[in-house]
Amino acid sequence: MTRYNEYKNSVLRHTMWLSEHGYFGSVMGSGGNVSVRIEGGNAFAITPSGVPYTKMAPHDICILDFEKNRIEGTQEPSMECDMHIAVYKGRPDVNAIVHTHQNKASIFAVINRPIPALFDEVCMNIGEIVDVIPYALSGSLQLAENVAFKLENGCNCYIMQNHGVLCLGHTIEKACLNAELLEKTAAIYADALSTGQDISTLPEDTTSLFNLLRKESLDGTAKDG
Ligand SMILES: [Zn+2]
């Protein structure tokens, strides 16, 4: 037992949930990756590279610092480590990252189009827009830079052009919930666009209100420790 076991178990449990619900685009593969920030340190727990989800065990989860030095684990960490580090450095409010290849949201990765605010509960959790991060090769430093550039909008989900999505959360439960809410809103938005009808989006005073509420809830969480 080490102090990291709880983090490893949490990453594995939520990764399995995402895999079983089809969020990685294949059940037998190892696409996508999940991480959590280690409380009180510049370190994180992240899924390994190339280990199929059907075979992943707690000891496969890697513990790394923000310079990518290995603290625990023998597997190669996810190839998207730089992207995860960029998020943890750029967004102190984020303690968990879920990168998936989920189907409906990936429609917007190939039509290269952001998803506007369409539903109250989605806007409350994700923010006023799901913006598109420009394409760069998987695992490249350029991709991490492109992600870092978009983070300041403060939203919790992003489309990654011709790739997949990035979902963030104050907790890993919230990051998974955001992946689920994103899939719902993407499915409905894609169907709505296909009707050729005008799309009704949330009014600006509603999105402003939810932005404020989201920020207040984070401030409250921080005060509560
Ligand atoms: Zn990916």
Say how many Å lie between the CA of residue 65 and the centre of ligand 1.
Answer: 21
pTM of the model: 0.94
Residue found by looking up tokens 């949330």 in the block: 202
Say how many Å lie between the CA of residue 160 and the centre of ligand 1.
Answer: 9
Strand order in the sheet with 164-169: 70-72, 62-65, 43-46, 33-37, 96-100, 164-169, 157-160, 129-133, 115-116
In the prediction, which pLDDT does 84 show? 98
pLDDT tens per residue across span 30-72: 789 999 999 987 999 999 999 999 899 999 999 999 999 999 9
Is 183 in the active site?
no
Averaged pLDDT of the chain = 94
Q: How many CB atoms lie within 10 A of CB 223?
A: 7
Query: Does residue 224 surpass a pLDDT of 50?
Result: no
Of 153, 168, 165, 167, which is closest to residue 207 (Cα–Cα)? 153
Say how many Å lie between the CA of residue 215 and the centre of ligand 1.
Answer: 29
Q: How many CB atoms lie within 10 A of CB 213?
A: 12
Burial, 196: exposed, middle or buried (Cβ in 10 Å; 0-12, 13-18, 19+)? exposed
Say how many Å lie between the CA of residue 157 and the centre of ligand 1.
Answer: 14
Query: Does residue 208 surpass a pLDDT of 80?
Result: yes
Query: Does residue 177 surpass a pLDDT of 50?
Result: yes
- Tell me the domain boundaries of the chain: 5-224
Beta bridge partners of 43: 65
Say how many Å lie between the CA of residue 103 and the centre of ligand 1.
Answer: 12
Query: Which residues lie at CB < 5 A from ion ligand 1?
Result: 164
Beta bridge partners of 77: 48
Catalytic residue among 6, 20, 76, 80: 80
Residue 80 to residue 99: CA distance in whole angstroms: 9
Residue 193 to residue 139: CA distance in whole angstroms: 32
| CATH fold for domain 5-224 | L-fuculose-1-phosphate Aldolase (3.40.225)
